């Protein structure tokens, strides 16, 4: 497989005389792909139905003379002014009834028939024009598909929502029953009496709100599918993707990605924060990989300081070495394409400070030289890196239903759903144990361990899957607030955790929220650990106790339990996870050899990731700190390895590796 190494390039922002030099610099950095045209609708179709692809053809042609291919963005994230003028109704309507002003981007309703028609026309024209152009390898549909919580309440959306509900529930009495509309006298007599819930959603009916989140997500999935159908019917061999935003809540990305050749995402590790968490970035890579079939791209990788945005300050500048490091981190976690955003920082419009590789002046700078050096390395080792795949024994369930249910109850819990997922992930990340971040629909059977942090919502199917998984020998680890609600966002009336009581061998008989600033302890035979946010009283039926609460009235009561179920085990943690608690659990699991890290890592902490090729293995060591670090790798037996980035050979049972500031080492082992 070829590694795609690229940059997002906006030739339409610069004088035509500059293009030759741009092509030269893009080529000599080692790039083999560019993304083009994602916001260029007004140039591609300057007036309704009149297309102009000539400027884009010229750019593609020029770059192709240097062996550079193109991914084209379908430009539907930014409707041109003539389209808004002709069809004001394409503008989304917020919950207060105001149309979104067409002053930025994403000012369209995905359900609007006029917008869908205009989108079909430009996408079809593009696909036909580039059908036989071998230099266009694929398409990125739209850009960061989503609308905020305020949108869209236009007449089309309201009507479609009612139809969607009708289709789902069949009768209004069934809907009344599952929503519990008797509460506050909401019983509906007809479908057109239903109004979508509005922010703050926690004021509204829980079932209706969750269905609204699902409907909004489906609206974008359907909008994307229209474009996929057009592109694939005209160019079945060109790849189709779209650029996601990690585990952004607006759209169920697992659902969306089913329609793509592969997903891609926009990765800005230092966006709006001086201190970022590299484990969070790793987790988002792993999640995006699991949204597709093994492979994904990073379609935008941070290449300089980010702009201020939505009240955030201008981001800190990446340290020397970080651009290279982030690229290897993405590849370590399975990326087959990495595209830096953007080639050159723009001088006008919004995003004047969303820096590219080059600054505004277009001169060669230290970031360019770093990327170029990385490009030279990739020419030698790129294929070896992407031919190897990530294999994980640990799965982490990320449920959009649970995420949405907790967002509807915004600030009810001291810990967010995302944070609980990250804490669960991090215990294993520290050991270099690969984790798949999967949806509840994913097949569980290949995982030795399944993490289910804050799995707030369950349905019959998921309950069956979890039971089957454990029955057949799996180890399931769940936390407080598991299976509190059913698929209609109703609390189970038969005690918690719903139909999973026998799986965990316990019943949650009482609980308390804990303010975020208060740290409480749980004691185990391996010492104490801090937990936070939520504590539960667990009444045991068949589980054994692994840890007890230290908190006031719960002192001495079971806090962590283990239940044998079929051939496997189910662990229940009656609190929210801190990183400390997650580490204690992961440490124990590794000590018990239930999963094995690729090597034992001693010394200062660095990120460790492994990949498996057909007859070789790769170990990535990534130093996420500005200071140099020395680690010792214990292979458990004498092994020989080649260092791919330094050309050295290492041999021994233990090997010492020193990593400079933000440096990366990749060890290659032949099987």
Query: Total number of residues binding Zn ion (CB under 5 A)?
Result: 5
Q: Name the H helices within 361-479.
A: 366-387, 400-408, 417-429, 460-471
Q: Which of 152, 290, 476, 619 binds Zn ion (CB under 5 A)?
A: 152
Q: Which is nearer to Zn ion, 56 or 152 (CB)?
A: 152
Least gap, CB of 154 to Zn ion (angstroms): 3
Least gap, CB of 164 to Zn ion (angstroms): 13
Rounded distance between C-alpha atoms, residue 157 and residue 93, angstroms:
9
Helix (H, G, I), strand (E, B) or coil at 257: helix
**Is there binding between residue 407 and Zn ion (CB under 5 A)?**
no
Rounded distance between C-alpha atoms, residue 77 and residue 350, angstroms:
15
Q: Count the neighbouring beta carbons within 10 Å of the beta carbon of residue 224.
A: 23
Rounded distance between C-alpha atoms, residue 628 and residue 644, angstroms:
19
Structural contact between residues 641 and 667, judged by C-beta atoms closer than 8 angstroms: yes
**Is there binding between residue 109 and Zn ion (CB under 5 A)?**
yes
Q: Which is nearer to Zn ion, 83 or 543 (CB)?
A: 83
Footprint of Zn ion on residues 28-87 (CB under 5 A)?
A: none
Helix (H, G, I), strand (E, B) or coil at 602: strand
Least gap, CB of 151 to Zn ion (angstroms): 7
Least gap, CB of 90 to Zn ion (angstroms): 9
Residue identified by tokens 């290659």 is: 668
Q: Which is nearer to Zn ion, 109 or 403 (CB)?
A: 109
Name the residue among 330, 271, 315 with its Cα closest to residue 144.
271
C-alpha angle with apex 583: 577 to 589, nearest 5 degrees? 110
Q: How many Å separate Cα 39 from the centre of its chain?
A: 23
Structural contact between residues 226 and 119, judged by C-beta atoms closer than 8 angstroms: yes
Rounded distance between C-alpha atoms, residue 539 and residue 635, angstroms:
43
Rounded distance between C-alpha atoms, residue 253 and residue 577, angstroms:
25
Of 110-118, 466-474, 568-576, 657-665, which part binds Zn ion (CB under 5 A)? 110-118
Cis geometry, peptide bond prior to residue 371 (ω within 30 degrees of 0): no
Q: Which is nearer to Zn ion, 116 or 335 (CB)?
A: 116
Least gap, CB of 311 to Zn ion (angstroms): 26
Question: What are the residues whose beta carbons fall under 8 Å from the beta carbon of 117, sequence distance 6 or more?
Answer: none
Footprint of Zn ion on residues 111-140 (CB under 5 A)?
A: 111
Least gap, CB of 135 to Zn ion (angstroms): 37
**Is there binding between residue 91 and Zn ion (CB under 5 A)?**
no
Please say whether the dihedral angle defined by the alpha carbons of residues 250, 252, 253 and 258, taken in this order, is positive or negative.
negative
Q: Which is nearer to Zn ion, 111 or 579 (CB)?
A: 111
Of 105-113, 233-241, 364-372, 569-577, which part binds Zn ion (CB under 5 A)? 105-113
Structural contact between residues 472 and 650, judged by C-beta atoms closer than 8 angstroms: no
- Catalytic center residues: 144, 300
DSSP letter assigned to residue 13 = G
Structural contact between residues 404 and 253, judged by C-beta atoms closer than 8 angstroms: no
- 607-612/649-659 β-pairing: unpaired
Residue identified by tokens 């189910």 is: 570
Least gap, CB of 157 to Zn ion (angstroms): 3
Q: Which is nearer to Zn ion, 37 or 91 (CB)?
A: 91
Rounded distance between C-alpha atoms, residue 466 and residue 6, angstroms:
41
Farthest CA pair distance, the chain:
77
Structural contact between residues 400 and 437, judged by C-beta atoms closer than 8 angstroms: no
Q: How many Å separate Cα 307 from the centre of its chain?
A: 21
Least gap, CB of 220 to Zn ion (angstroms): 11
Q: Name the H helices within 131-205.
A: 155-169, 172-179
Least gap, CB of 216 to Zn ion (angstroms): 10
Edge-first strand listing for the sheet containing 296-302? 239-241, 136-140, 69-73, 33-36, 4-8, 335-341, 296-302, 264-267, 243-244
Q: Which is nearer to Zn ion, 94 or 482 (CB)?
A: 94
Least gap, CB of 80 to Zn ion (angstroms): 19
Residue 432, CA distances (Å) to 64, 279, 282, 428, 462 in order = 40, 11, 11, 6, 29
Q: Which is nearer to Zn ion, 216 or 617 (CB)?
A: 216
Question: What are the residues whose beta carbons fall under 8 Å from the beta carbon of 60, sequence distance 6 or more?
Answer: 36, 70, 133, 135, 136
Of 47-55, 101-109, 220-228, 343-351, which part binds Zn ion (CB under 5 A)? 101-109
Structural contact between residues 292 and 631, judged by C-beta atoms closer than 8 angstroms: no
Least gap, CB of 92 to Zn ion (angstroms): 5
Footprint of Zn ion on residues 153-182 (CB under 5 A)?
A: 154, 157
Residues that bind Zn ion (CB under 5 A): 109, 111, 152, 154, 157
């Amino acid at each position: 497989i070829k590694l795609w190494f690229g940059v997002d390039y906006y030739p339409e922002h610069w004088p035509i005389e500059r293009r030759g030099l741009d092509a030269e610099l893009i080529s000599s950095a080692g790039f083999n792909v560019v993304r083009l045209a994602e916001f260029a609708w007004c140039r591609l179709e300057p007036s309704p139905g009149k297309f102009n692809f000539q400027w884009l053809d010229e750019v593609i042609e020029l770059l192709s003379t240097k062996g550079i291919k193109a991914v084209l963005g379908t430009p539907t994230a930014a409707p041109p002014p003539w389209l808004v003028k002709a069809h004001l109704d394409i503008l989304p309507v917020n919950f207060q009834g105001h149309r979104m002003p067409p002053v930025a981007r994403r000012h369209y309703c995905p359900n609007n028939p006029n917008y869908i028609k205009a989108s079909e026309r430009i996408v079809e024209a593009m696909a036909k024009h580039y059908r036989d152009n071998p230099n266009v390898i694929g398409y990125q549909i739209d850009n960061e598909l989503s609308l905020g919580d305020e949108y869209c309440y236009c007449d089309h959306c309201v009507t479609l929502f009612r139809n969607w509900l009708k289709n789902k529930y069949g009768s209004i009495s069934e809907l009344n029953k599952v929503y519990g509309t008797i509460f506050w006298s909401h019983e509906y007599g007809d479908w057109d009496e239903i109004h979508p819930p509005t922010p703050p959603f926690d004021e509204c009916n829980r079932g209706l709100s969750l269905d609204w989140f699902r409907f909004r997500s489906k609206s974008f999935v359907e909008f994307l599918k229209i474009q996929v159908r057009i592109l694939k019917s005209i160019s079945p061999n060109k790849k189709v993707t779209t650029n996601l935003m990690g585990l952004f809540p607006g759209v169920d990305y697992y659902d969306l990605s089913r329609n793509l050749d592969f997903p891609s995402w926009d990765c800005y590790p230092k966006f709006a924060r001086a201190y970022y968490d590299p484990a969070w970035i790793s987790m988002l890579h792993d999640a995006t990989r699991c949204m597709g079939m093994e492979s994904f791209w990073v379609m935008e990788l941070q290449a300089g300081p980010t702009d201020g945005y939505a009240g955030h300050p201008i981001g800190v500048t990446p340290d020397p070495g970080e651009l290279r490091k982030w690229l290897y981190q993405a590849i370590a976690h399975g990326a087959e394409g990495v595209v830096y955003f953007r080639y050159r920082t723009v001088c006008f419009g919004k995003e004047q400070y969303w820096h590219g590789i080059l600054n505004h002046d277009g001169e060669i700078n230290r970031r360019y030289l770093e990327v170029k050096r990385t490009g030279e390395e990739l020419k030698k080792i790129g294929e070896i890196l992407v031919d190897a795949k990530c294999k994980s024994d640990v799965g982490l369930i990320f449920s959009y239903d649970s995420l949405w249910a907790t967002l509807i109850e915004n600030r009810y819990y001291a810990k967010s759903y995302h944070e609980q997922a990250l804490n669960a992930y991090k215990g294993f990340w520290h050991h270099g144990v690969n984790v798949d971040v999967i949806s509840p629909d994913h097949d569980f059977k290949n995982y030795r361990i399944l993490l289910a942090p804050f799995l707030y919502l369950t349905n019959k199917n998921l309950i069956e899957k979890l039971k089957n998984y454990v029955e057949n020998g799996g180890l399931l680890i769940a936390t407080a607030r598991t299976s509190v609600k059913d698929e209609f966002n109703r609390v189970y009336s038969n005690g918690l955790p719903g139909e999973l009581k026998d799986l965990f061998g316990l019943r949650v008989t009482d609980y308390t929220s804990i303010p975020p600033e208060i740290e409480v302890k749980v004691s185990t035979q391996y010492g104490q650990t801090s937990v936070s946010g939520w504590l539960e009283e667990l009444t045991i039926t068949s589980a054994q106790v692994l840890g007890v609460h230290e908190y006031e009235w719960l002192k001495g009561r079971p806090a962590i339990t283990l239940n044998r179920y079929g051939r496997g085990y189910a662990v229940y943690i009656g609190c929210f996870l801190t990183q400390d608690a997650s580490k204690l659990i992961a440490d124990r699991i590794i000590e018990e050899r239930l999963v094995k890290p690729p090597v034992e890592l001693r010394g200062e902490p660095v990120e460790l990731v492994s990949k498996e090729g057909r007859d070789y293995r790769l170990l990535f060591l990534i130093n996420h700190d500005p200071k140099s670090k020395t680690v010792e790798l214990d292979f458990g037996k004498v092994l020989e390895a080649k260092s791919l980035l330094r050309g050295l050979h290492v041999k021994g049972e233990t090997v010492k590796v020193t990593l400079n500031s933000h440096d990366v080492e990749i060890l290659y082992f032949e099987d």
